[in-house]
Structure 1
Amino acid sequence: MTPGIQMHTDSDTVAVLSPRAEQLRLLVDLVEAMTRDIPSLAHALQLIARRLAGACGLRAITVFTLDPDDGSLRVAETLGPAAADDLKVAGRVFRVAAGAPGVRVADRTALRLRMGGQTHGVAVLTGEELDNLLPDVAAGVALQLAATLQVLAAERDRQYVTHATDTIKKMYEEGAGARSIEAAGRVLARITNEAFRTDRAAMHLIGPDGRISCVTGINLPPATEAALTRALEGRLAADSPVWRTVHELGAPLLLDDTSAAATRPGGLVETLGLRSIVVLPLMSASGPVGMVLCGDTTGPRHWTGRDRTLAQQMALEGALVVDGARLRQAEQLHVAELTRQAYHDALTGLANRTHLLERAEQEVAAATAAGERLALLLIDLDGFKRVNDTVGHHAGDALLQAVGRRLQRAVRGHDVVARLGGDEFAVLLTRDPDEEQAGAIAQRLHERLCAPYTVEGSRVDIGASVGITMFPAQAAGMAALMRTADAAMYQAKRTGGGVAAAQGLSRGSGESPDRP
């Protein structure tokens, strides 16, 4: 047996044949293997070694596949000790006609693996007696290896189509649930990472000012995630050579080796420690909104033509996912704005009457169940009509806005401040206030509202009348709360302003003991 090749046989006994018969038998073995078994390069090389080791002194075989995209040769399978310059020897077959015999270089013979008018690769055989290799046998070996490569390539094509279809389907299914561009970006980053089976992935979004507004990693350690945020948020996206390239191309970027490319110091590539990357632009109808990046940390990686095709397809389909999320986000913002308008006063931004009544009904039900109290304060401004008549309605609007701000700052965060209309306001005190607390808050509101205002450069002075009522002491429901608080407020107004409490409560300043 020739050193360097370990032969595996189907039985313990191998019939002794002449060198010529061994070679001819090889063709039979290869045909039988192709028809009986799933094509395997490793099996085919074992069969070749078994028959040619003795007949031709074969000690090594290297099979290269031909990349259909760039014409490069890459090792597909080896048996025995391959020589360092086998690739150089393999390349010599392209210097002769496609149908020419194998190219001989010293102790090696390079065979073009061609079938159906297409070259699929090159086989380099190494042995001391390769002159003994019969031309017909060499042609048969080349044909069978080409057929094996063709079958394997067809299987890879089938797997690619299945993988690409499943990836795009998953992208759409999960992207349909994204309610914001940020959520869509996370979905695309995770699926891209899965599709290319890379080690790490991240995405970032770009704000209208061209700065990075959001950075998110996929399955990253918290420390790495924090490092990304510190390094990139607020930075100009255009400072990144990777971003500039993707932006200019408007298409994916695949780099086999990032060490040979320009990247941003402290950027995604450096922070994630990536040696090879796939970058997809996040596009919308209005233009690029960010990018998705994934890659390997272990070393360079050759991205195939299939990888590039998949990346292009994902970028195109991903744009639809991003746009769908953008429309859903806009719709949510629109609904939220309509809801805000329906429940808030347009001038002051405070809750309106509708919001107050609905919230009060909820608080009354909760207080009833918990045995707690509520307080309602109704407020009417004194002297507001004079401001409108003397200074103008524009000044009056500015004054109402200032009143709203003072009211909002004077109460607790869980209380509700509302503008009922005109110069009337209300405050609903929640979380079990007692009569003393309600009276103290009402006094504080009155004092703040009566402090001078500066409106359009001029001092404006107004007063306020505040009526207080308590649930359940003075009212059993919201309608009764409004009536009793309104009565107390008008009682305060009739006596010159101040604070008036419904019957049974301590009196505030300016309140008469008489009830209407």
Structure 2
Amino acid sequence: MTPRLRALATASAISAAVTAGYLTARHSLRAELATVRHAATHDPLTGVHNRAGLFAVADSFITTAHTANRPVAVVLIDLVGFKKVNDTHGHLAGDHILTTVANRLTGIAGPACLAARLGGDEFVVIITGPARGHDDAGTWLAGWLTHTHTRLTTPVTYDDRPLAVGATLGAVLADPSEPAAVWLHRADLAMYAARARRWSTAVFTETADTPADSRPIDRPRDLARPTSPLAAAPTTWRAA
């Protein structure tokens, strides 16, 4: 090989190595950015969306469902008796219940849904129903809530022992006329109404006078919940 050809071959090899290194670094950076984005929008324990991840996609999800002429509901799930599990069986048992509930929610709602853990023992799922004209949206939602409550409250096995799982569900039929945060707030109000009346589920219906017993008075930790200001707009309810 002549010196000129040798030089050209060397230059070509160097160029190929630089290009390969650039592509590898670019791929690595993309993977790292994807990991960072996922961590910023998903709950590290359960793998479902966190609050930020939910609100990043919820509005477009609701709009898309209505464009497809399908009803969409925002459902807030608050576990009952979770603190007792932590205190009695330890935090690993509590974590097992949280991951089981998250898996049950995603399994029940299917791929065409958004599931999120808002923090602590509080979850939310945004679901779509059948195309309008096949079933009444209210009937569909009531049936879904009943089925979901039954599935969620099936005892969880941990360390060869069954652990009870309690849950209260509040729901609202949503549409693009309001942002998702508003619908979540109304679902939370429905959850409070269900808890006050000792129902397992409730659906937000319309603005009206709030019965005095629909507001919580015995759960101080709820005062800090961002989805449930106690000075919320008055509402009426119906059992699901």
Query: Could you tell me the TM-score, scaled by structure 2's length?
Result: 0.74
Separation of aligned partners in 1, 2:113 and 2:190: 20
Shift of 1:467: 0.8
Matched residue, 1:463:
166
Which one of the candidate residues 438, 443, 462 is aligned to 2:146? 443
Could you say if the C-alpha distance between residues 450 and 398 of structure 1 is closer, same or farther in structure 2, counting changes exceeding 3 Å? same
Matched residue, 2:196:
494
Kept in 2, the 8 Å contact 1:463–1:497? The answer is no
Matched residue, 2:182:
480
3-state SS of paired residue (2:173):
strand
3-state SS of paired residue (1:503):
strand
* Deviations 1:27-73, CA, capped at 9 Å, x for gaps: xxxxxxxxxxxxxxxxxxxxxxxxxxxxxxxxxxxxxxxxx77xxxx
Matched residue, 2:25:
327
Shift of 1:416: 0.3
3-state SS of paired residue (1:347):
coil
User: Does 2:128 correspond to 1:430?
Assistant: yes
Separation of aligned partners in 1, 2:160 and 2:7: 66
Shift of 1:472: 4.0
- Correspondence list, 1:224-239, <5 A: none
Shift of 1:440: 2.4
- Report the residue type matching 2:144 in the other structure: I
Matched residue, 2:229:
none
Which one of the candidate residues 33, 56, 59 is aligned to 1:358? 56
User: Does 2:172 correspond to 1:503?
Assistant: no
Kept in 1, the 8 Å contact 2:168–2:195? The answer is yes
Question: Greater CA radius of gyration, 1 or 2?
Answer: 1
* Deviations 1:284-332, CA, capped at 9 Å, x for gaps: xxxxxxxxxxxxxxxxxxxxxx4x7655543333222212111111111
3-state SS of paired residue (1:454):
strand
- Correspondence list, 1:396-415, <5 A: 396-415=94-113
Separation of aligned partners in 2, 1:407 and 1:364: 18
Shift of 1:368: 6.3
- Correspondence list, 1:182-261, <5 A: none
Which one of the candidate residues 370, 380, 383 is aligned to 2:78? 380
* Deviations 1:253-283, CA, capped at 9 Å, x for gaps: xxxxxxxxxxxxxxxxxxxxxxxxxxxxxxx
Separation of aligned partners in 1, 2:165 and 2:87: 14
Matched residue, 1:416:
114
- Correspondence list, 1:267-282, <5 A: none
Separation of aligned partners in 2, 1:365 and 1:453: 36
Separation of aligned partners in 2, 1:343 and 1:450: 27
Separation of aligned partners in 1, 2:186 and 2:10: 70
> Which runs of no fewer than 5 residues in structure 1 stay unpaired?
1-67, 70-156, 162-305, 505-511
Shift of 1:370: 6.7
Shift of 1:400: 0.6
3-state SS of paired residue (2:205):
coil
Shift of 1:477: 3.6
3-state SS of paired residue (2:46):
coil
Could you say if the C-alpha distance between residues 371 and 403 of structure 1 is closer, same or farther in structure 2, counting changes exceeding 3 Å? closer
Shift of 1:338: 1.0
Matched residue, 1:300:
none
**Greater relative CO, 1 or 2 (CA 8 Å, sep 6+):** 2
- Correspondence list, 1:10-29, <5 A: none
- Report the residue type matching 1:376 in the other structure: V
Kept in 1, the 8 Å contact 2:74–2:183? The answer is yes
Shift of 1:412: 2.4
Could you say if the C-alpha distance between residues 453 and 369 of structure 1 is closer, same or farther in structure 2, counting changes exceeding 3 Å? closer
Shift of 1:387: 0.5
